[in-house]
Every structure is written in structure tokens, then in C-alpha cells.
Structure 1
Amino acid sequence: MNNGMEADLERLDAFAAANREAYDGADPFPHTKIDNFVHREVLEGVLAEVEAADREGWSDMDDRYQKKSALNSTRQMGPKTRALIQFLNGQEVIMFLEKLTGIEGLVPDPFLAGGGLHQLRQGGFLGVHADFNFQKHMRLDRRINLLLYLNKDWEEEWGGNIELWDTSMKHCVKRYAPLFNRCVIFNTTDKSFHGNPQPVTAPDGRVRRSIAMYYYTNGRPEGEVSDAHMTLFQYRPGEASAKDKARRFVKRLTPPIVTDWIESRRN
């Protein structure tokens, strides 16, 4: 990809070298935040395409856990958006991520399973969760998320901030506003709880937009291995309703072989 992206690569390589240790030791799980991730004019062009796009190809998710829209078909995206996604899935960014995270053998996902363009309109949110851990089509383990935000002049009180929670789901440890050209990168495991649970309340019908890219490896460290699962949504303190509590009580009384079968059918 041209458009002066090479200068960004030199800066990112230097960032990876300087922040490798800080990334690994970040609380509550390995992550980092990088502002001005790509050249501003590159993202300006992408934003213009996304704003002008119609609704064809978008998927809407609206339930108790989330209210958002997503598009992962590159055929429905503009040329600048496709070019940026190809760059984010390309050799240079993969090498940067390996240097930053220390995870070798990263593989991008050309299918953008669960990724691509995401939008949250008024009232939109995504509950705190751990991500699905296995890409069935490529048969690979999910290891890294890269989220790039497209929101100009976004105010934190408008909601939609990404939150990183501790493993006990008692505290939000870090919170980042989804500012234009801000990138948040983090390891994904069964305990990397994150989301944007505060509903969007931006004025004038403004939409919270982002690009989500996921990276995989063939296998993962022994301490992170678990059965393949879909998204694991979590309750924040005081969030579970009486109905949910009753459901969890029934689950505790149900033999594991039955609950495992139900979960497999749901997935």
C-alpha cells in the first residue's frame, strides 16, 4: 500500500521494539494503545467511503448482549477500505505484531470472521466478553485483536469506550475512548474480558465506527488451551437479572454432560 504508509511502518517498528516488555506486562492482560496509527489522509479516505456506503451486506446483531452492525464482505467495501484491510493483513503489519507481542507465526484472516467494519448507532453497545477462540474455516487459534477507530472529535461521555476487565469481572482496569486513528491491540484468551458496554449516546445521530482485525496461530501455549467456543459474554457487577441468576442456578444443577451437549448445539 502506498500513500506514505512506509513512514508509519518505521515508526511502528520503533514502537514495537520500545514497548514489547510494557505490552507483555500490561494490566489486566497484554495490550497497548497507539494513537495516529496510520497516516491521517489514509483513514480520512476510508471514513468517507464508510459514511457513504449503503446498508447492503451489513449484519445486525441485537440481543441482550449486543446491539451493533458488522460488515466483513470486502466486495461491499470501497477501494480505500479494501486497501487498508489488505495492508493490515499484510507482511509488514504481521511482522510488527510479532515483534510487539512476542507471538510468532501469526496468520491473518482474509475471511474477516467476526471482524471487518463495525458500527454502533444510538443505543448501540457490546457487552463485556472473551472472544471466540477458534477460526473453524482455517482451523486456527485466535491470538491477537487489532481495533482501529474511525470517530472524529469523539467525547468519552458519549459511550462506546472499550473497557478491559480483570479476570474476576469485578473491576474495569482500563478504558479507552474510540478516537479517530486510535488503535488498541491485545492478546485474546478465555480471560481477556473486554467490550464497550456503555450504550452510545452521541449527539446528532453520530455513529461509532471501527475496523476489527484478528490474527491467529496454529496452536497456542498449553496454559491457554481450551475447547473451541463462541463468544463468552460476562456480567458486570450488579448486571445479572433475576432471570439470569435462576438460569445459572439451574445450570449448576444440570449434569455436565447435558450442559456440554446444549452448548455444542448452541455453537
Structure 2
Amino acid sequence: MWLNQQHLTDAAIHAYRKTLRRSCPQHVVIDNLFNQGLLEQVLSALQQDQHWQTQQHSYSKLYVDNASWQKTPDKQRFVQRDLWQRPAPGAPDTAANIALQFLQYLRGAEFLALLSRLFKVGLTDINVAKPEINTNYFRLSASDFVNQHADDSPGREVCMLLYLNQDWQQNNGGELVFMGKNDKPITITPQYNRCVLFNPASPGAEHWVKALTTESTTQYRYNVTSWYWSE
């Protein structure tokens, strides 16, 4: 239902594995991996402002409150963005519920099996205390940022980024940039239904997001971020 089946054939999996082996960092970009119609329903839910809350991290501390943030030097500021707030259990908001269903799918057996197959590693949430906090939606405005960082952590095998930006133009900014190797960074545009899968422990996997260049205060860069562990 959520996945487009042409990406699940043996030939497709073989091609993606080949790309992973040859890339630095180990990553693969898959366009149109997910059902377009369902993602449009998800995006409609994400465009409701009441579901968002600002999130701020420094390099020394996650989830910094506003008072501490004002005292944090610019060079120590790591992330400023909005985090999607999940609806309460049993909430009648069906638009938000489709967005929640997608997050649940991304941690479900079918998608974990696909990632395990691609990366040749057994992925599981068996030792993850709160799986739900490792898969969520984020949005960036022109005043927000995600600065250079690494996502590697003991047992973390795969990171996924999925972009939900319709009609995104190259001059809007917001590109994902991997450090890469030999001073040759890799830049990826956050186009709609573009999925980036990567090994966070592979060389060159440090990354950041270029600032948005749009002057519109109502335009956001939307994405899903999800992290996966082995046992």
C-alpha cells in the first residue's frame, strides 16, 4: 500500500546494493519509493500549523529551552527546526492520523525487512526503548538550520530521509550535503518523494542542510527523518 512495487524487485534491490557498495558515504537515492496519493494526504496533514513545535539543539545539549538558547553562541547551535507533534491516542483528527499511520509503517515489519535486505543487516526495535521518537516529521523555514553533524551511534545502522516538498525549485536552497571524500561534498536536492538511505557510520557521512533561500515566511522544507538499529 505505501511502497511502489517496482522498487522491490530483485533487479531493483541488486542495483541499490551496488550503489551502496560504490558510494562514499554509503548511500542510495530512490525517487518515488512511496505511493504518491498517500503522501499527498500526509503532506496535507503536515500543512496544519497546530501540529508543530520548535526544537533546538546545541552541540553539547539536546532539547535546549528558549532561555538557554539565547545564551548559546551561534557556533554551538546545531539545530533549529520544527518537530511534528503526534495526535493523542483516539484523537478524531483523521488528517493527522494518516500522517501518524505512515510513521508507524516506517517502523513496521515490511519496511524494516526492506531496509534489512538493502543493507544486508538485521534491523529491529527490540532494544530501542522508544522507537517512535526515532521516526518523525520535521520542517525548516528560512530562519532555521541543521548544521554539520554525524548521525552515527552504537548499533545505529541505517538513516532515512524522505522529502515532501512539491514543486521544489533548485534556487530554494535546502539541499542535503554529505561531506563525501577528497573535498568533494555530495549535494542532494530535497525533491518530493525522494528517499535518501545511508549508513551513518560510513566515511564521509557527516552532513548538513543548506539554508533555505526563499523569502516567503510561509514556505517550509518538509521531511521525514528515521533511524534504525540492529540487535
Match of 1:11 among 6, 10, 27: 6
Tell me, which stretches of 5 or more residues in structure 2 are unaligned?
58-73, 90-94
Aligned counterparts of 2:112 and 2:7: Cα–Cα separation in 1: 11
RMSD of aligned C-alpha atoms?
Answer: 2.4
Match of 2:200 among 184, 188, 204: 188
Q: Secondary structure at the match of 1:153?
A: coil
2:214 corresponds in structure 1 to 202
Aligned counterparts of 2:176 and 2:87: Cα–Cα separation in 1: 25
Point out 4+ residue stretches in structure 1 off by more than 4 angstroms: none
Match of 1:98 among 116, 123, 134: 116
Which amino acid is the alignment partner of residue 13 of structure 1?
Answer: L
Equivalent residues of 2:103, 2:135 under 8 A apart: no
- TM-score, structure 1 normalization: 0.68
Residue 55 of structure 1 deviates from its aligned partner by 4.5
2:84 corresponds in structure 1 to 71
Residue 18 of structure 1 deviates from its aligned partner by 2.8
Q: Larger Rg: 1 or 2?
A: 1
Aligned counterparts of 1:190 and 1:183: Cα–Cα separation in 2: 18
Which amino acid is the alignment partner of residue 23 of structure 1?
Answer: L
Deviations 1:32-90 (A, max 9, x none): 0011121111110000001014155x242165323212236464981111111111111
Which amino acid is the alignment partner of residue 166 of structure 2?
Answer: K
1:214 corresponds in structure 2 to 227
Q: Which residues of 2 match residues 14-53 of structure 1 at below 5 A?
A: 14=9, 15-26=12-23, 28-53=24-49
Q: Secondary structure at the match of 2:47?
A: helix
Q: Secondary structure at the match of 1:112?
A: helix
Equivalent residues of 1:12, 1:96 under 8 A apart: no
Equivalent residues of 2:26, 2:202 under 8 A apart: no
Residue 115 of structure 1 deviates from its aligned partner by 4.0
Which amino acid is the alignment partner of residue 33 of structure 1?
Answer: V
Which of the pair has the greater relative contact order for Cα pairs under 8 Å at 6+ separation? Answer: 2
Match of 1:122 among 142, 161, 178: 142
- TM-score, structure 2 normalization: 0.77
